[in-house]
Amino acid sequence: MIKRTSVYFVFLFLLCYSVAYAQPKSKKVILHSDYQKHFDRYEVGGSIVIEDLKNHKSFYYDEARTKKQFSPASTFKIFNSLVGLETGVIPDTSFVIPWDSVQRGKYAPWHRSNSLNSAFKFSVVWYYQELARRVGNGEMQRLISLNKYGNEDIRESIDGFWLTDMNGKLRISQVEQIEFLKKLYGNELKFSARSQQLTKSIMLMETTGNYRLFAKTGMCSENNLWYGWYVGWIETNENVYFFATHVESEDNQKILAGARKGVTFAMLEELGIIEKPK
């Protein structure tokens, strides 16, 4: 009896040991300070996270900042699209909401009727505000909390809780953006597979012989600074890399001039994920 018990405990120990060490380990690689050069090139500050899906590696520049929560700004359009599709407010990506004839700046795509496809591509704020109004506070809060999106705070108006110029309080960190994107990529969010697939289809921004780019930008101002997001993933022939870039500047033109994508692609090139232009 004693011998059988001993064998049992040895077997149990070996089983637990093998299970523990069979799990893929996430290896964190902290980027060195010389990567500041990519931000300096565009005269912006900020931080970046890049995660290697296949090799379970996470690359950081300014790790502490990547855990700080900021307004998602227009990157929330990813989640907002999921909600619209899931609730049936938006039946498919071609669904058009008529323009209300209100002039909003000088950006032409905002001054016409838009489909979900074009509203995402041109970051049409009014389209997504109307989408959120049609969804309503209760269902929006339920889906945000169910998916644990950022700080889950939508206390301000239903059509402005993600916008700082409307005193929106919703916040999310770069690390949280990465986790959200990974779940979306794998159809692991608390949304139907259809809603996730359709949302991913409108995120496709660029296709080359070497990669496919799925992404969304965002920008807002707060505390006398402008903040810019660039989040998404890039699929190569062998792997998938998720990224969340967040830059800051007192001059919004430096962000609009290409800093967000520029810093991201410089890092992807530095890490050998994509080839540098010849």
What domains can you pick out in the chain, each with its CATH number?
25-270 (3.40.710.10)
CA gyration radius, the chain: 21
Backbone φ/ψ region at 258: left (φ over 0), alpha (ψ -120 to 50), beta:
left
Phi, psi for residue 3 in degrees, rounded to 5: -65, -45
Please write down the long-range contacts of 204-213, taking CB distance under 8 Å and 24 or more positions apart: 205/232, 210/236, 210/237, 210/274, 210/275, 211/235, 211/236, 211/274
Under 8 Å between Cβ of 104 and 110: yes
Record the pTM.
0.89
47 is catalytic: no
Contact 18, 253 (CB under 8 A): no
pLDDT tens track, the chain, 278 positions? 444 444 444 444 444 434 443 444 556 777 666 789 999 999 999 999 999 999 999 999 999 999 999 999 999 999 999 999 999 999 999 999 999 999 988 889 999 999 999 999 999 999 999 999 999 999 999 999 999 999 999 987 999 999 999 999 999 999 999 999 999 999 999 999 999 999 999 999 999 999 999 999 999 999 999 999 999 999 999 999 999 999 999 999 999 999 999 999 999 999 999 987 76
Token digits for 66?
């990547």
Phi, psi of 28 (to 5 degrees): -95, 130
Cα→Cα distances 246→98, 103, 136, 230, 258, Å: 33, 29, 29, 7, 12
Residue 113 neighbours by CB distance under 10 Å: 13
Q: What CA–CA distance (Å, rounded) separates 213 from 232?
A: 8
Identify the active-site residue in 47, 58, 71, 74: 74
Burial of 187 (C-beta count, 10 Å sphere; 0-12/13-18/19+): middle
